[in-house]
């Protein structure tokens, strides 16, 4: 067949070249492999890999901010001539970077699930050998994994830095070994809850800007309102309101897991979120379970959302 006229631009697309067609007789790996592919691509997209410059820069900046406290801890620990220096304690870490985490969820969730919906690529995914539930869960897993890099990773970095800064590193690790499972448990619970809530909100918000604003609004407005409610109102029903604020529940869960829930006194209701959590006066184990329940319910709602769409 004749070569396309050498017109510039889209000219070459005008002609169909006849070079035959090869079939495929190799293996077909099926559903689990397809899901793994979807998960890996979504995690890569979360950090801007394989996409434009802007998503890369944004993800990198947020990642850097999330690590900044750990990095400062490392530097100060190395420079200051004290044996055990603690600039930030692990149970307070997430509270200090919670706005970074919310921004990350807002920015990434709308990319991870919103793009497929906006560009109608969803129809192509659903015509593949996966189920709709698989798609929903792979997307939640991708956002949760992305969040791990902003939560558990800086905590581990800080742990390693503290060990290196101590006069006897091995001794320090032996004394503080119980921190490792606490870091992982509190971080994973946070990621599950934030990840599933983020995907849930983004799966309902069609436009990117709307998705981002919704995520930020839901996390921060609930945080502010619940903070005011708990501090200003003193009756038994109102303390339940605290479960409406994911950031408060995360604080409660993390402090419980690190065995660091503050003591309650009359001042705590106007104090830090962790103090307010203590003021609400629920048994400590309630917080991690509440976080887990939030994740399960949010994931179930996401699955339901995708079952309904064709």
Partner 1 sequence: MPLIETNGLTKRYSSVTALDGLTLDVDPGIIGLVGPNGAGKSTLIKILLGLVDATTGTAEVLGLDAAREGLRVREVVGYMPEHDCLPPDQSATNFVIHMARMSGIPPAAARERASEVLRHVGLFEERYRHMGGYSTGMKQRVKLAQALAHDPQLLFLDEPTNGLDPQGRDEMLDLVERTGHEFGISIVMSSHLLSEIERVCDGLIVIDEGKLMRTGRIAELTDETAVLAVEVEWDADRLAEMLADRGLEVQVLGRELEIAGGGSDGVHDAILEAVVALNLPLVRMERRRRTLEELFRPDADGAAEASNGAG
Which positions touch partner 1 (CB under 8 A)?
10, 12-19, 21-24, 26-31, 33-34, 37-38, 41, 50-52, 115-116, 119-121, 123-131, 310
Q: Which is nearer to partner 1, 138 or 278 (CB)?
A: 138
Q: Cβ-count burial of 140 within 10 angstroms (0-12 exposed, 13-18 middle, 19+ buried)? A: buried
**C-beta of 12: minimal distance to partner 1 in Å?**
6
Q: Which is nearer to partner 1, 120 or 167 (CB)?
A: 120
The answer to whether 219 and 152 are in contact (CB under 8 A) is: no
Q: Which is nearer to partner 1, 55 or 187 (CB)?
A: 55
Q: Which is nearer to partner 1, 55 or 198 (CB)?
A: 55
**C-beta of 271: minimal distance to partner 1 in Å?**
45
**C-beta of 6: minimal distance to partner 1 in Å?**
12
Name residue, tokens 């590193």. 169
Q: DSSP H helical segments within 47-178, as ranges?
A: 53-79, 90-96, 98-109, 115-118, 122-126, 132-165, 169-176
Q: Which is nearer to partner 1, 39 or 258 (CB)?
A: 39
**C-beta of 13: minimal distance to partner 1 in Å?**
5
Closest alpha carbon to 41 in 127, 111, 101: 111
**C-beta of 7: minimal distance to partner 1 in Å?**
13
The answer to whether 194 and 147 are in contact (CB under 8 A) is: yes
CA distance 162 to 69: 13
């Amino acid at each position: 067949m004749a070569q396309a006229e050498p017109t510039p631009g889209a000219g070459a697309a005008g002609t169909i070249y006849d070079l035959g067609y090869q079939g495929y007789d190799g293996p077909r790996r099926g559903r689990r492999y397809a899901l793994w592919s979807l998960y890996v691509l979504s995690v890569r997209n979360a950090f801007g890999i394989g996409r434009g410059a802007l998503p890369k820069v944004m993800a990198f900046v947020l990642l850097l901010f999330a690590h900044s406290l750990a990095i400062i801890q490392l530097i100060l620990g190395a420079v200051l001539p004290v044996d055990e220096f603690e600039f930030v304690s692990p149970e307070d870490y997430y509270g200090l970077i919670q706005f970074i985490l919310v921004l990350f969820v807002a920015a990434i969730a709308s990319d991870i699930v919103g793009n497929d919906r906006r560009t109608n690529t969803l129809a192509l995914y659903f015509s593949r050998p996966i189920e709709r539930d698989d798609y929903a869960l792979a997307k939640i897993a991708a956002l949760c994994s992305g969040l791990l890099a902003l939560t558990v990773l800086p905590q581990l970095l800080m742990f390693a830095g503290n060990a290196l800064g101590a006069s006897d590193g091995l001794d320090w690790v032996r004394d503080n070994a119980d921190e490792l499972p606490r870091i992982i448990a509190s971080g994973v619970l946070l990621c599950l809850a934030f990840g599933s809530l983020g995907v849930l909100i983004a799966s309902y918000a069609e436009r990117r800007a709307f998705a981002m604003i919704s995520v930020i609004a839901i996390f921060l407005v609930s945080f502010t309102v619940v903070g005011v409610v708990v501090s200003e109102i003193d009756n038994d029903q109102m303390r339940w309101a605290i479960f409406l604020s994911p950031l408060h529940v995360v604080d409660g869960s993390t402090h419980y897991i690190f065995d660091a829930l503050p003591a309650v006194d009359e001042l705590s209701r106007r104090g830090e979120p962790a103090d307010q959590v203590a003021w609400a006066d629920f048994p400590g184990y309630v917080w991690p379970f509440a976080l887990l329940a939030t994740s399960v319910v949010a994931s179930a709602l996401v699955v339901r959302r995708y079952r309904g769409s064709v």
